[in-house]
């Protein structure tokens, strides 16, 4: 049953807060909704709209009048369409999907193989219940359950949420710039990016110590400005039908990368940092999974056993990042196996896959719904990473870049990347999507993001990376906060920056542009943080 508030009374309570009490007498049970408006910091209005706590109401809508039918709307976190007007936007953390367009055959192929995996226009790793308009209005929601930003009418912008309450902050300003400043003021100022990232590109390479050094020397010989190498398979590799993937057991694989500890030290002396990879999941074939399982540090299924999920070619459990003993243990893993080896940074991937029936040992978090824990895990993952860097005293020296996020993630993250784009020009999931993604995320309060140069998702025959796409993407990335390549999930099918002299020559020029822009980039980042 859906009810519309028809009658209301406006009063002020004893502390001066404006209170609107509304009822729907024509509706069964005559529900009561209480709306409070309180003046906050920076001329904000703190909004709370709550239906009666009588167990009858589990959905709520709150609408704001548009400034005009032509109003332009931005935000929603990392959305891959710039103007959000005219559509509804589910705020739900998940994979962005592959193709994200029903007219793209790749989307159909993915959905046929696994329903929903093709994605849609609204699927994203980093949604936020935040929007701002060309009419000078902004809303920053504080809901953790599933919600939607509904912009499909010409008269109202509506926030819809599961549960019986919508809570948020409202700003009104004369310009988009001022709105963004107000939204950004709600979050902590992040530590500065490490200065070494200004010196050039981070080159992705896999396959072992010898190959990583060979690629580095080939790049340097052609004038490429290299600030770092990124060896995501440092912990080992897994061959799956989807391609070359990482063994999720977060410790140095000395067989694949012999002498890596010495190489890391030697490259530091050359001002080249080695970067690695980690996520909050543990492959069941690894010793870290066995330790976490035996110590009760993984999310649980309904039977009280460690929750094991299929990740496409292998199975893994999720570290219970809501449970303090598990967090402390994982901080130790990051510290011993990554930070103590003097790696310059790491991709802190994933966190979108928390099942709705997964349980935690944290008693207070266990009281929340599965929806809330699902959306919140990315923020707890970001917090865990930040705690590891804080305790090691390495903020501003070691960089962690992440793709997933939700409310409060911005308080802990330093850098985001836009996820797994297709290695093509498609407007649904290719190169063109990374610009609106960065702009909407920036206008939602997090301004530092970049993308995999050349994209990621690759398929035999139908979806391979061309040299043209790779180098155009590099041109774009020269003007982003971080310049980093990716080989893709099937590296041998994709053009790589180190393939030939022509690619190296053009890429070298772009890395020099990126390096030359470092004073300007620092100025802009400082302006953002101020």
Q: Which pLDDT does position 1 carry in this prediction?
A: 59
3-state secondary structure 96-116: CCCCCCCCCHHHHHHHHHCCC
Residues 139 and 206 reside in one and the same domain: no
CB of 203 closer than 8 Å to CB of 227 = no
Report whether pLDDT(411) > 90.
Answer: yes
- What's the domain range around 407? 195-278+340-529
Report whether pLDDT(179) > 70.
Answer: yes
Residues 103 and 71 reside in one and the same domain: yes
Residues 199 and 178 reside in one and the same domain: no
Domain boundary pick from 160, 184, 208: 184
Partnered with residue 120 across adjacent β-strands are: none
Among 123, 125, 137, which Cα is nearest to 47's? Answer: 137
d(CA 401, CA 378): 13
Task: Give the DSSP H or E segment for 330.
Answer: helix 324-334
Answer with the residue of higher pLDDT: 109 or 39: 109
524 occurs within a structural domain: yes
Lowest-confidence region among 33-47, 146-160, 169-183: 33-47
Residues 153 and 245 reside in one and the same domain: no
Residues 53 and 101 reside in one and the same domain: yes
Average pLDDT for residues 457-486, to the nearest whole number? Answer: 98
d(CA 436, CA 78): 8
404 occurs within a structural domain: yes
Locate 338 and state its tokens: 């990554």
Residues 519 and 424 reside in one and the same domain: yes
Average pLDDT for residues 147-171, to the nearest whole number? Answer: 97
Answer with the residue of higher pLDDT: 14 or 89: 89
Confidence class for position 462, pLDDT limits 50, 70, 90? very high
Average pLDDT for residues 377-392, to the nearest whole number? Answer: 99
Q: Which pLDDT does position 416 carry in this prediction?
A: 98
Confidence class for position 15, pLDDT limits 50, 70, 90? confident
Locate 273 and state its tokens: 């940092």
Report whether pLDDT(6) > 80.
Answer: no
d(CA 153, CA 156): 6
Report whether pLDDT(452) > 90.
Answer: yes
Output the domain CATH number for residue 249.
3.20.20.80
Q: Which pLDDT does position 176 carry in this prediction?
A: 96
DSSP state of 424: S
b/e code 211-233 from CB counts within 10 Å (16+ = b): ebeebbebbbebebbbbbbbbbb
3-state secondary structure 297-321: CECECCCCCECEEECCCCEEEEECC
Lowest-confidence region among 21-25, 231-235, 477-481: 21-25
Q: Which pLDDT does position 54 carry in this prediction?
A: 82
Report whether pLDDT(477) > 90.
Answer: yes
Q: Which pLDDT does position 12 carry in this prediction?
A: 81
330 occurs within a structural domain: no
Confidence class for position 4, pLDDT limits 50, 70, 90? confident
CB of 217 closer than 8 Å to CB of 477 = no
Q: Which pLDDT does position 242 carry in this prediction?
A: 80
From the number of C-beta atoms within 10 Å of its C-beta (0-12, 13-18, 19+), residue 368 rates as middle
Catalytic residues: 349, 352, 420
95 occurs within a structural domain: yes
Average pLDDT for residues 228-241, to the nearest whole number? Answer: 95
Q: How many domains would you assign to the chain?
A: 2
Report whether pLDDT(429) > 90.
Answer: yes
């Amino acid at each position: 049953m859906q009810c519309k508030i028809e009658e209301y009374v406006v009063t002020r309570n004893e502390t001066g807060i404006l209170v609107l009490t509304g009822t729907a007498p024509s509706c069964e049970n005559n529900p009561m909704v209480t709306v409070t408006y309180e003046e906050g910091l920076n001329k904000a209005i703190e909004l709370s709209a709550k239906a009666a706590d009588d167990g009858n109401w589990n959905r709520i809508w709150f609408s704001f009048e548009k400034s005009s039918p032509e109003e332009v709307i931005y935000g929603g976190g990392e959305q891959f369409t710039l103007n959000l007007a005219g559509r509804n936007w589910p705020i739900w953390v998940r994979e962005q999907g592959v193709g994200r367009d029903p007219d793209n055959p790749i989307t159909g192929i993915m959905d046929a193989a696994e329903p929903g995996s093709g994605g849609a226009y609204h699927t994203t790793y980093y949604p936020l219940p935040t929007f701002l308009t060309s009419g000078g209005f902004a809303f920053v929601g504080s809901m953790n359950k599933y919600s939607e930003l509904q912009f499909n009418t010409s008269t109202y912008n509506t926030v819809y949420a599961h549960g019986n309450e919508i809570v948020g902050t409202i700003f009104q300003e004369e310009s988009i710039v001022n709105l963004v400043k107000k939204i950004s003021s709600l979050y902590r100022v992040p530590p500065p990016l490490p200065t070494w990232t200004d010196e050039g590109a981070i080159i992705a390479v896999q396959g072992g110590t010898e190959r990583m050094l060979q690629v580095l020397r080939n790049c340097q010989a052609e004038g490429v400005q290299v600030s770092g190498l990124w060896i995501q398979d440092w912990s080992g590799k897994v061959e799956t039908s989807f391609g070359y993937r990482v063994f999720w057991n977060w410790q140095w694989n000395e067989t694949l990368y012999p002498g890596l500890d010495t190489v890391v030290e030697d490259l530091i002396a050359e001002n080249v940092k080695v970067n690695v990879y980690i996520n909050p999941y543990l492959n069941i074939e690894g010793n870290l999974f066995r330790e976490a399982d035996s110590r009760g540090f993984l999310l649980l299924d309904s039977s009280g056993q460690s929750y094991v999920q299929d990740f496409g070619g292998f199975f893994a459990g999720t570290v219970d990042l809501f449970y303090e003993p598990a967090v402390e243990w994982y901080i130790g893993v990051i510290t011993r196996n990554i930070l103590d080896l003097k790696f310059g940074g790491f991709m802190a991937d994933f966190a979108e896959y928390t099942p709705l029936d997964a349980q935690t040992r944290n008693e207070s978090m266990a009281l929340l719904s599965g929806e809330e824990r699902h959306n919140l895990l990315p923020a707890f993952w970001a917090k865990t990473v930040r705690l590891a860097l804080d305790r090691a005293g390495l903020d501003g020296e070691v960089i962690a870049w992440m793709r997933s996020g939700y409310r409060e993630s911005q308080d802990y993250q330093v850098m985001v990347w836009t996820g797994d784009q297709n290695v093509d020009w498609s407007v649904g999931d290719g190169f063109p999507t990374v610009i609106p993604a960065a702009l909407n995320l920036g206008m939602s309060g997090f301004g530092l993001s970049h993308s995999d140069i050349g994209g990621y998702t690759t398929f035999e025959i139908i979806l391979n990376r061309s040299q043209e796409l790779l180098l155009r993407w590099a041109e774009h990335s020269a003007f982003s906060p971080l310049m980093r390549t990716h080989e893709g999930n099937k590296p041998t099918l994709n053009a790589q920056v180190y393939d030939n002299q022509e690619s190296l020559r053009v890429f070298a020029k772009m890395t020099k542009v990126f390096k030359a822009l470092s004073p300007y980039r620092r100025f802009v980042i400082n302006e953002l943080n101020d």
